[in-house]
Every structure is written in structure tokens, then in C-alpha cells.
Chains A and B, each alone.
Chain A
Amino acid sequence: MKVLILTSGVPFIRGGAEILAGGLCDAVCAAGHQAEILTLPFQSCPPSRIPEQMLACRLLDVTETCSMRIDRVIGLKFPAYLVPHPRKVIWLLHQHRTAYELWNHPAAGDLIHYPDGPVVRDAIRLADRTFIPEARSIYTLSRNVTERLQRCSGIASEPLYNPPAGASLFYKSTPQDYFFFPSRINPVKRQWLVIQALALCREPVCVRFAGEADNEAQQAECAKAVRELRLSERVEWLGMVTEERKRDCYANSLGVVFPPVDEDYGYVTLEAMLSSKPVITCVDSGGPLEFVVDGQTGLVAGATPQALAEAMDALWGDRRRAATMGETGLQRYRDLKITWENVVEKLLC
């Protein structure tokens, strides 16, 4: 089969979506097909240009190439998934979120600040409602994205999970005295919530953070909170780490803390499970809640410093329970069949 993976991207920027498209392309090729990624440029500012780029996508023709049929198109991102094709499936990473649940988000909202924002928002919503159902099948990154698509556009879809990069390389080792929290450092990932919780812990809980801050101000803010709460002995900032170092940190941790706001999917949860570690997350964390079974593979806490502190204390004080939860997490990962083979089979079926 000739399989064309269609996505949108901002030139010079590589993130999770690019990694996922690459992983999918490799997996389709490994299954004996020909696959290629086509990334269309997307510029979301000013908003008035968005409908023009949606139209551009509708005008493209990828039904054939040099008189040879393109057997399957897999659309990933807005607006590239609007490109028409008779044998298209959509594996939705996310819609244009500031036209939906982030419309009036205090930090993330952008369209809302422009005079023509509402018109553009409505055009995006109309295009999604009209054209997404053209696809033969509609899959999403996670149940969280599926629920949003149902709620925002009234379209049914099925979550299709993919493994994190290098899934087979994660391992477990003897737990040491720290929780691990790998993520970009920003308000949405809520490193600050963990710091506040640490101040309330009864046990001498320690946390290692890995990842870069989106900007220096955010890093400075976290550092300041640590100083003011006198937590410098119990917090370690590793910054950007290699994949290998990251896997070591998972393997040697007591557990993983991952309390972001409404994450789409979250490889961190899966990486923790692959390392046989329990995961502490919050009731509003989105994606992680699809994997963490409260009390069995980790703990789901209220999104407050106090509730998070209690959860961390609970695992810190009962290492055997933490280890059992970690083992159950790994078993759950296996039961969920989170493999590229499964992804490819579904998308090409």
C-alpha cells in the first residue's frame, strides 16, 4: 500500500506531533508498506489567514501520484486533515484548540483577542463538523481527545494509543528516595503545584524534575517558590536530560508525579508504567486518567497542594504498596496492547 501521512506544522519547530508522525511512518514501513509524511505549513496568526489555509488544504489533490493510486491517507493535524481523499482515515492529535476548549483560556486563548476571532472560530468549527466525518474512520490520540471531539463537534471517534519512543528500552530498578517528574516546565504541567504540595508533606518527600522551562521567567518562579518554602534540600532540577538518563531516572524512582492540566495523552504516564512505577496524577489531568487506576496503579488526587501532599506521603510511607502498584501498571500497559503494530493495523484496515 502507498500510505501518505498528512500533517500540519510550523516551519523550524519540532515537537510531539512531528515525533509521532515519524514513529507512524516508520511503523507503516516496517509493516511492509510505502509511507511518506507530507507536512503542510500552518501559520495561525493573524487569524484571518486561517480560513485561507483551510481552503488551500481543500484544494490539494493527493488521490493519485503519477497515475498510481495513493491507497490511504492518514490525517493528523488541523488543517491538513481537511485535505480530501476517498480513502482517508483521521487519527486526530487535536483540533485547533483555541477555537474550542481553549477559546477563553486566560493564558492560551488567542483567537478571542482579535476582532475577527469569532468569525474564524465559527469557520473552523463548521469545517471540522462538515469535513471530519468524510473520513472512513476517525481515531484519536486518546479518550480525552475523543471526548472533546464528541462534545465540541458531535462526532464519534475511537481512541487509538501509541507507544512512547524507545518503549522497549524502559526498565525498572530498586526504588530510591525520590519521585520523578519529567516534563517541559510551564504552568500547564503544574510543577508549581508539586512544590506547594512538598511544603505540606509530613514525610521528607523529595522530587526530581527533568525538562526545560518554556521560558526563563517560569524557571525563576519555580526556583523562587522552592527558596521561599525552604525546600532546596528536597528538590532537584535536572534540566534537559538525554533519553538514556531519563530512563535511568524512571527506573530508580519511587514513583512518578504527573499532575498537568487536561493533558491530551501524556507519554509520561506510559513511560512510568513501562518502568513499573506508580503514577500520582490529578482529577483534572485528562490523558493520564485513562491509564492510572486509582489505588491500583497509582493515585488520583484532588488538584490541590494538600491532596497531592497526602498522595505523595502515602506512597513514600508504604514502599511495598508503591512497588505493587508499579507492577500492576506494567501489566495494565501490556493488557492495553499499546503497540505500533496495533496502530498500523487499525489505521490501514
Chain B
Amino acid sequence: MRILIATVKVPFVNGGAETHAAGLRNALIAAGHRAEIVSVPFKWYPPRRILDQMLACRLLDLTAAGDAPVDRLIGLKFPAYLIPHPNKVVWILHQHRQAYDLWQHPMGDLHAQPHGAEVRDAIHRADVELLPQARHLFANSRNVAARLKTYCGIEAAPLYHPPPDAPRFHSAQAEDFLYFPSRLNALKRQRLVVEALAHTRAKVRVRFSGPDIEAGYHEECMAVARRSKVHSRIEWLGTVSEQAKRDLYARCLGVLFPSLDEDYGYITLEAMLAHKPVIACADSGGPLEFVVHRETGLVCEPAPRDLAAAMDELWEDRDRARRWGEAGRQRYSDLRIDWGTVLERLLQ
């Protein structure tokens, strides 16, 4: 089949969404299809620009490429999943969250902008009317499916996919640190971890890796660490290579992933692949689909003292931490998170 993957590209930014699209393309090609990614640039401010870009997507034509038809379109991200096609399947990575769960939320700002409500309504209308035009609807996770159901009344089946290079993760003897790999920003909540360190009984150590993507956030976290005198227990590694990242997963005692309402979160899966327990928060979203409390990790309230208690638990009982990590690896296998399963369902 000739298959196009429609997604959004924010120029000069690479994140999970790009990795996801590339992984899907590679899996399709490996299965003998011709597949390519079509990206539409997206800029969400000022809000009215969103309307223009939704219209732009509706005007594009991906029914054919040159003289030959495109057999299947797989839409991933708003507004690229609005591009029309008679054989479209949508696998929603996420909707435009500012118009939904982040509306009136401190992390969102659409509600505070001129014409915000008008644009939110237009996004709702487009999603409600146009998403059901797809032959099948899938969501990146149960969390994304639940949001689609809550806000748009539309059903979608969760469809999990593996993180990139899944077979290359490995495990090693646990050393004296918890690992938190993520881009540094408020949604990921590195700051919460720094605050928690001031409350741990044990001298818990944490290594952070990931690029700075929010001006001032890293400095803010470091300032908090210095004020509460925990800075010597923290290492900021910045951007690390994929190999170094896998190595850190392998050697850590456990993985911290307390971010806010994550859609999916490769980090949970990568930790499971490295046989490590995961600490997530009760409002972390995606990770909660995978972390089984007190079986493969810990789920705590998003407050410094609660997080500190969870970190102490792993730190003080290494043997139990190891067992939870092993159980996590087993759970990954049981969930059948592999590209073969993904393609079977997307192309059914």
C-alpha cells in the first residue's frame, strides 16, 4: 500500500511526536509498504492563527501523489489529522489540549487570550464533526481516549506503540541514584522533585537529563535546590546521547516520572524495558496506565512530602525496588507493545 502519515511539525523542535511518526513510517516500510510523513507547520498563537491553519489542512489534497492514489492516510496530530481523505485512519497523539483539559488551567493560556473562547469552540466543532469521518479512530493511550470521550463524546481505541530502539534497552546493577530523563519544563515537574529532596529521610540522589526548553525554568530549579541545600545531591546532565540515556536507565535505582497529565510517556516504557520501578504521580496521566502501584512502582500525590516518601521507599529497600523493576519488565511483555500489533490494527 502507499501510505501517508499526516502530522504537525513545529520547526526546529524535535520531540516524542516526531519520533512516533518516524517509528510508524519505518515499521510500515519494514512491512513492505511505501510510506512517507507529510508535515504541516503549526503555530498556536495568536489564537486566531489556529483557525487559518485548520482551514489550510482542510484545503490540502493527499488523495493522490502524482498519478497514483494514496491508499491510506494516517492522521496523528491536530490540525494535520483534519486533512481529508476517503481512507483515513486517525491515531490521535493528542488534541489541542489548550482547548480541552488545559482550558482554564495554569499550564494553558488559550483562555486568557483575545478570541480564546471563539477559537476553542471552533476547535471543538472541527474535532467533533471531522474526526468521526475517519474509518477508524485510535488514541495514543487510554488517557488520550478518555479525554476524547469526555470532551467530544467520541470513542477511540487505545493503541500502544514501543519507544524508539526498544530492543536496545538493558539492565544493570542498581547504583545510588534515581533517574529523571525529560525535557526541562513546568509540565514535567523537575521542580517538584527538587522540592521533594528537601524532605527525604535518606540522602537520595537524582540525575536529570534532557534539554532546556523553557526559558528560566532550569535556573529556577537550581535556585530552589541551592536554597534548600540539596544541590549537591543533584546532577544536571543536559542533553545526553541515546546510548548514554540507556546506560543511565540501566544503572539507576529507579525512574522518576511525576509529570502532569502526560499523554503517553515513553519514559515509563523505557524504565520497564530497563527493569526499573517507576515513581509517578496520581495526576500523571499516561504513566498510570502502566505503573501498578506497589507492584511495578509507586504512585503518589503530586506534593513534595509525598514524593519524598516514595523516593525514600525505593532508596531504603533495594531488593524490593529490584523486584518491582522485574515485574515492570514482565508487564511490558504482557501488554504486547510492538509495531506488528500496531500495523495490524491501523491497516485492518
Check B128 for interface membership: any CB of A closer than 8 A.
no
> Which residue of the partner chain, among A39, A49, A53, A65, contacts B43 with CB atoms under 8 Å?
A65
B38 touches A11 (CB 8 A): yes
A36 touches B59 (CB 8 A): no
A65 touches B11 (CB 8 A): yes
Check A66 for interface membership: any CB of B closer than 8 A.
yes
Complex Cα distance A62/B8, Å?
13
B36 touches A11 (CB 8 A): yes
A52 touches B11 (CB 8 A): no
- Shortest A66–chain B CB gap in Å is 6
Given the known inter-chain contacts A10-B66, A38-B41, please indicate yes or no for A59 contacting B56, CB distance below 8 A: yes
A66 touches B13 (CB 8 A): yes
Check A64 for interface membership: any CB of B closer than 8 A.
yes
- Shortest B43–chain A CB gap in Å is 5
What residues of chain B lie closer than 8 Å to A53, measured between beta carbons?
59-61
Complex Cα distance A83/B41, Å?
11
Q: Which of A11, A36, A53, A59 has the most CB of B within 10 A?
A: A11
B53 touches A13 (CB 8 A): no
Complex Cα distance A49/B52, Å?
18
B41 touches A61 (CB 8 A): yes
- Shortest B270–chain A CB gap in Å is 25
- Which residue of chain A has its CB nearest to the CB of B4? A11
Q: How many residues of A contact B (CB 8 A)?
A: 31
A40 touches B53 (CB 8 A): no
B65 touches A38 (CB 8 A): no
- Which residue of chain B has its CB nearest to the CB of A48? B61
Check A210 for interface membership: any CB of B closer than 8 A.
no
B11 touches A2 (CB 8 A): yes
> Which residue of the partner chain, among A41, A43, A45, A62, contacts B11 with CB atoms under 8 Å?
A62
Check B26 for interface membership: any CB of A closer than 8 A.
no
- Interface residue ranges of B260-274 to A (CB < 8 Å): none
- Which residue of chain A has its CB nearest to the CB of B14? A36
Complex Cα distance A41/B70, Å?
12
Check B331 for interface membership: any CB of A closer than 8 A.
no
Check B49 for interface membership: any CB of A closer than 8 A.
yes
B12 touches A61 (CB 8 A): no
- Shortest A341–chain B CB gap in Å is 23
- Interface residue ranges of A1-53 to B (CB < 8 Å): 2, 4, 10-13, 34, 36, 38-41, 43, 45, 49, 52-53
- Shortest B55–chain A CB gap in Å is 6
A56 touches B56 (CB 8 A): yes
B10 touches A65 (CB 8 A): yes
What residues of chain B lie closer than 8 Å to A4, measured between beta carbons?
11
A61 touches B52 (CB 8 A): yes
The prevalent SS among residues of B at the interface is mixed
Given the known inter-chain contacts A12-B65, A61-B49, please indicate yes or no for A66 contacting B59, CB distance below 8 A: no
What residues of chain B lie closer than 8 Å to A59, measured between beta carbons?
52-53, 55-56, 59
What residues of chain B lie closer than 8 Å to A64, measured between beta carbons?
43
A38 touches B39 (CB 8 A): yes
B34 touches A12 (CB 8 A): yes
Complex Cα distance A49/B60, Å?
8
Q: Which of A2, A52, A63, A66 has the most CB of B within 10 A?
A: A66
What residues of chain B lie closer than 8 Å to A2, measured between beta carbons?
11-12
Check A70 for interface membership: any CB of B closer than 8 A.
yes
What residues of chain B lie closer than 8 Å to A41, measured between beta carbons?
4, 38, 60-62, 65
Check B27 for interface membership: any CB of A closer than 8 A.
no
B43 touches A63 (CB 8 A): yes
Check A165 for interface membership: any CB of B closer than 8 A.
no
Check A68 for interface membership: any CB of B closer than 8 A.
yes
> Which residue of the partner chain, among B11, B36, B60, B61, contacts A12 with CB atoms under 8 Å?
B36
- Which residue of chain A has its CB nearest to the CB of B39? A38
Q: Which of A13, A55, A56, A62 has the most CB of B within 10 A?
A: A56
> Which residue of the partner chain, among B9, B10, B34, B65, contacts A43 with CB atoms under 8 Å?
B65
- Shortest A96–chain B CB gap in Å is 15
A36 touches B12 (CB 8 A): yes
Check A225 for interface membership: any CB of B closer than 8 A.
no
Check A60 for interface membership: any CB of B closer than 8 A.
yes
B11 touches A38 (CB 8 A): yes
Complex Cα distance A34/B14, Å?
13
- Which residue of chain A has its CB nearest to the CB of B10? A65
What residues of chain A lie closer than 8 Å to B10, measured between beta carbons?
65-66
Given the known inter-chain contacts A52-B59, A63-B43, please indicate yes or no for A45 contacting B52, CB distance below 8 A: no
Complex Cα distance A38/B67, Å?
23
- Which residue of chain A has its CB nearest to the CB of B65? A11
> Which residue of the partner chain, among A11, A61, A68, contacts B53 with CB atoms under 8 Å?
A61
Check B40 for interface membership: any CB of A closer than 8 A.
yes
- Which residue of chain B has its CB nearest to the CB of A83? B41
Given the known inter-chain contacts A61-B49, A64-B43, A66-B10, please indicate yes or no for A56 contacting B60, CB distance below 8 A: yes
- Shortest A274–chain B CB gap in Å is 32
- Interface residue ranges of B321-347 to A (CB < 8 Å): none
6 intermolecular pairs with C-beta atoms under 8 Å apart? A2-B12, A38-B11, A59-B55, A61-B41, A65-B10, A66-B12
- A: residues with CB less than 8 A from B are 2, 4, 10-13, 34, 36, 38-41, 43, 45, 49, 52-53, 55-57, 59-68, 70
Known: A64-B43, A66-B10. 5 other contacts (CB 8 A): A43-B65, A53-B60, A59-B59, A63-B43, A67-B45
